[in-house]
Amino acid sequence: MSQEHIEHAIRKEYAAGFTTDIESDTLPPGLNEDTIRFISGRKNEPEWLLEWRLQAYRDWLQMAEPAWAHVNYPPVKFNEISYFSSPKAMKDRPQSLDEVDPQLIETYNKLGIPLHEQAALAGVAVDAVFDSVSVTTTFREKLWEAGVIFCSISEAVHDYPELIKKYLGSVVPRKDNFYAALNSAVFSDGSFVYIPKGVRCPMELSTYFRINEANTGQFERTLIVADEGSHVSYLEGCTAPMRDENQLHAAVVELVALDGAEIKYSTVQNWYPGDAEGKGGIYNFVTKRGVAHRDSKISWTQVETGSAITWKYPSCILRGDNSVGEFYSVALTNNAQQADTGTKMIHLGKNTRSTIISKGISAGKSSNAYRGLVRMSPRAEGARNYTQCDSLLIGDRCAAHTFPYIESRNPSAVIEHEATTSKVSDDQLYLCQQRGLDAEKAVSMIVNGFCKEVFRELPMEFAMEAGKLLEVSLEGSVG
Amino acid sequence: MLKIDNLHASVENKAILKGLDLAVGAGEVHAIMGPNGSGKSTLGHVLAGRPGYTVTAGSAQLLGQDLLTLDTEERAHLGLFLAYQYPVEIPGVSNMEFLKASVDAVREHRNEPALDSVSFMKQAREACKAVNLDQAFLKRGVNEGFSGGEKKRNELMQMMLLAPKLCIMDETDSGLDIDALQVVADGINAMRSPDRSFILVTHYQRLLNFIKPDRVHVLSGGRIVKSGDHSLALELEERGYAWLEDVA
Amino acid sequence: MNDFMQQALAAASRSAPPWLEPLQARGREAWSNTSMPTRKTEAWKYTSLQALQKTFSAAPTQAAGSPLGDVPLPKLSGPTLVFTDGHYRADLSTTELPAGLRLVRFADATRDQAERIAAALGSAILPGRHVFAPLNDATLTDGVFMDVAANTRIETPVHIAWLTTGQNESISVTQRLLVSLGENSGATLVESFANTATGGTAFTNGLTELLIGRGAQLNHYRLHLEQGDVVHIGGVHARQEADSTLNGFHLALGSALKRIDLVVNHQGAGAHCSLDGLYLPRGTETVDYHTCIEHAVPHCTSRERFRGIIADEASAVFNGRIHIHPQAQKTRAELSNKNLLTSNKAEINTKPELEIYADDVQCAHGATVAQLDPLTLHYLRTRGVPRDEAEVMLSYGFINELVEAVEQAELQAFLKPLLARRFARDSRLTRHIL
Ligand SMILES: Nc1ncnc2c1ncn2[C@@H]1O[C@H](COP(=O)(O)OP(=O)(O)OP(=O)(O)O)[C@@H](O)[C@H]1O
Ligand SMILES: [Mg+2]
């Protein structure tokens, strides 16, 4: 296959890169204690939560931005970001879908969010977070019958204060890291899920995040508590419009799987990656962590194709005996994107098990790093980990890295780690071409094959979407 | 030789053997057949004392001694030998070193003098020849990269060198080509003697054409559900196990 | 900087040959600008330098002429240079050299040799890649230059033994070896580090530079046999020209602390290196190997195999980095690191790293941590092998592959019993291995 042939590729614009023209109510840029008081005030928050935020802010001021990740970017000017933006028409929350601004509905339709009837067909309950405010939650009734709570975190603060007080910050402490502290100070909204004892959530839960306003940061916070023996599958999707400036997204996700519970958390992340030259795009600095109690299971699946910079390590603290942690990841970087992503599996309990399957694909002049930690504590009798990390390079200007930290202090724990690197070979391309496929299609096929162990873990309807997303993200990368 | 009464055993809290009785006299050859997952290999492992296999009731005696209270190596010293269905690979430990360590240990417990390396080598070479394995296998890691059939023959070679009293052969005939099957059968027949007994676990009656069993048992659901002479094996070959479920 | 280091610097500047002074001065300058690594320094995340808080006095200026007693050293049939506490011991050395080989002590160097040595020293060390290199430079008073002429194959192994005797309470010793292999030459080099049974504490800083010319092949064995309170911080830095080969074998028995950095820099296409390594700390010992292969040019290959057995309350660190530069197309690199923990208090931290900036490459690494496999142990026992002997056989089996790969026969004969006895003193338990 000739180089020239491969170069022959179509560039396609970021498919989700439209902005929505809605009047919104945005706080001027800047961050100080008043900003936090404003946010808290707007949400009518109880005093304890304001205090909690202020404490986080004060901690944050003492902390330094982490520099260890394998990414490069000019320092973020935290004072030029607006920390609150809510679509104006939403000041009084709509009581039903009919009251939602039609333009907003249009936006969701463009994004392909199954919000309306489609949602019912797909069996998906959606909590859509637009910039920072949760717009509407569908299917609340049906979930209510099952006893499942699925609402925005601001509502939960009012409606379920004991649960929030008990679990907020219990997995990712307020000052866990620089971005988590920032999020704790300024988080504007997010989703809250509670599955009662023994309940199998009757449908997939889903949240879509979208940053719309210029110069805004998004700091959502998700908290999922699965009570004993319960089961839930949750999916989040993310998009943002094309803008020349970088935008900051610093979310925190906390999962609590109590004894015998199971949480499956899937992410399809397609924030705006910036243009081919690396101008613009989202800085995706996210802290995601779950605590798994006895006999429980937490499974993270992520397909990361967006963002200028990704910095996230969805992790499992396997606290209870026999608990299970899983991490299935596809991270694709193209053009000037940079990703430093992976997971941490902290084995504390006996007979805990973890599996890590990470597939990194680098194209263009992007940089893609897997960074993972597997730790066997002295108590983790009989624990096991299996890790497989594969990198695929497309083109000779990209970079792929693997930084696995493996720490064991228990002789009966078994750890196996493997990593490989390969490229899409000319032979593979040639073979595909002989079968009548063009170079683009061939690469996309090979990449899809490379990722199949991860796609298999996604809820059905999103596996398709993920495959398409890779195809779109890879456009223009062959050569 | 071997006497098992009402043996109950479980693996990972799952009951597998549920009241198994079996008596094997000196010099006898017994065949055990039975559907997949019925507990045949479990029986061998329980007798050999594999970790993770718990005896919950019953008894097993070898040559009048209670097997179940002994350590694994003590059972071997007493004369128990289990040829594995799936022999273990040990990279880094040579077959020769492994064989010599076993033979020395067993001889020591029989109060026999240790073999010097020359006579040991001679025996090892002869055993290799008897099971039709090239001598190069002595230098390789134990079972490391051996083919399925080579592993089985390696098990047989160990058995020849250790000269045990009771040989349990767990599907030693599976995965062998016709010539290898003949080799294995010849090897076993050559070892038959009035003070040595065999339990042959097999799915195929063809092995029993080469080695005539005194008794044939059917193990199903963790118990011996039927016993008979060689003709039972022929009947099983023809009719399968389904009819027995009704009988049992 | 610790007081003892100040002292060592002062002592060094008094006793070095004059031509080393500029190097010492540069070292002093760089060292004064170096801050001691802490647990926050990525490359020292798992290893504390607490052991250096002790006071070590500068090594005595005179060689102690005492016999060595029972230092476990390989006896090899080639030239042998022995240093005790940093001083050359003519009485213990044999210096008959085959044609094409020169072994020059820095203290003895002629003007021409001194010029060559001064120009080459430090040239194999990539800037900033060895924190303790400036200290070595600054305190350097003697060392060895091994020079192999082009197109010469030296058959007999060259053995350089660095010993500490513990005659003084606790001393700090600087060791330096510079090796140059001319084009298409070949040699075998054995470096052993050991201390005498009388013990004593020592801080040794041993730095080896390997300059391997085009088409040349070096077999390099570096054996760290020190025991007890010895703290060793050292490294091997290699620069390989086109089509050259480096076969490295590294062994570290434990002592209070050993930190060894191995950096191989492939400067010419077609270079190959293989690094095998064993670390066997026990008690409260710590061994830390940091390896890095810099694939800077196309068509090079590397293979690394490190195995560790960590016993008692010991800890080990392995960090294996493979760095493939943008030009280094067609590189093939593989690394395997396997670890056995044999006690509830033992600890291993391993990090095999890939950093890749070229696409047409084949790289793989793997790491495992476990204890002896219970079912394998059981299999041996079903054959009558007693449990304790089976454990010894399997432990030795875990490292056997690398021991068998040691090509130098005399060295292998030395290593086998040494290693087997690591797992059991009772010869009954090792009789089938040896
Ligand atoms: N470690 C284990 N954990 C859980 N179940 C086990 C374990 N080992 C064996 N079993 C189960 O015990 C049952 C009996 O197994 P066993 O190997 O004894 O069967 P078998 O009669 O030898 O079968 P085959 O003819 O296929 O060799 C099976 O259901 C098997 O799955
Ligand atoms: Mg079986």
- Measured CA to CA in angstroms, residue A71 lies from A1, A64, A399, B35, B47 at distances of 33, 16, 11, 59, 59
Mean pLDDT calculated for residue range B237-244 = 81
Closest CA to ligand 1's atom 24: B36
* Four-point Cα dihedral C18, C22, C27, C32, nearest 10: 110
Model confidence at B198, in pLDDT bands (50, 70, 90)? very high
Mean pLDDT calculated for residue range C418-424 = 92
Statement: residue B245 has pLDDT above 80:
no
Window from C73-82, C166-175, C210-219 with minimum mean pLDDT: C166-175
In tens, the pLDDT along C274-307 reads 999 999 999 999 999 999 999 999 999 999 999 9
Please say whether the beta carbons of A42 and A21 come within 8 A: no
**Interface membership of A423 toward C (CB under 8 Å):** yes
Statement: residue B144 has pLDDT above 50:
yes
- Per residue, the 3-state secondary structure of B77-119, as one string, reads HHCEEEECCCCCCEEEEEHHHHHHHHHHHHHHHCCCCCCCHHH
Separation of B1 CA from ligand 1 center, angstroms?
Answer: 26
**Interface membership of A421 toward C (CB under 8 Å):** yes
8 Å CB contact of B90 and C399: no
Residue type, B117: S
Q: Which ligand is nearest to the CA of B34?
A: 1
Cβ of residue B36 lying under 6 Å from some atom of ligand 1:
yes
C-alpha closest to that of B102 among C397, C293, A12, C383: C383
- Facing residue for A401 by CB, picked from C46, C346, C354: C354
- Chain B residues closer than 8 Å to C398 by CB: 92
In tens, the pLDDT along C255-270 reads 999 999 999 999 999 9
8 Å CB contact of C344 and A410: yes
- CB pairs below 8 Å between A and C: how many? 105
Q: Which ligand is nearest to the CA of B42?
A: 1
Please say whether the beta carbons of A227 and A256 come within 8 A: no
- Facing residue for B82 by CB, picked from C380, C382, C400: C382
8 Å CB contact of B102 and C384: yes
8 Å CB contact of C384 and B82: no
In tens, the pLDDT along C83-128 reads 998 889 999 999 899 999 999 999 999 999 999 999 999 999 998 8
Higher pLDDT, residue A474 or B8: B8
Which pLDDT belongs to residue A307? 84
**H-run or E-run covering C392:** helix C387-404
Cβ of residue B191 lying under 6 Å from some atom of ligand 1:
no
- Facing residue for C393 by CB, picked from B76, B87, B97: B97
Question: For residue A361, what is the nearest residue in chain C, using CA coordinates?
Answer: C359
8 Å CB contact of C393 and B101: yes
- β strands within C267-361, DSSP E: 272-280, 286-295, 301-310, 315-324, 332-341, 347-356
- Measured CA to CA in angstroms, residue C281 lies from B110, C272, C308, C316 at distances of 39, 29, 8, 7
Please say whether the beta carbons of A466 and A268 come within 8 A: yes
Which pLDDT belongs to residue A358? 96
Which pLDDT belongs to residue A135? 44
Residue ranges for chain A with pLDDT beneath 50? 1-14, 17-20, 22-23, 88-96, 111, 114-124, 131-136, 479
Q: Which residue has the tokens 């020079």?
A: C147
3-state secondary structure of C252: strand
Statement: residue B230 has pLDDT above 80:
yes
Cβ of residue B197 lying under 6 Å from some atom of ligand 1:
no
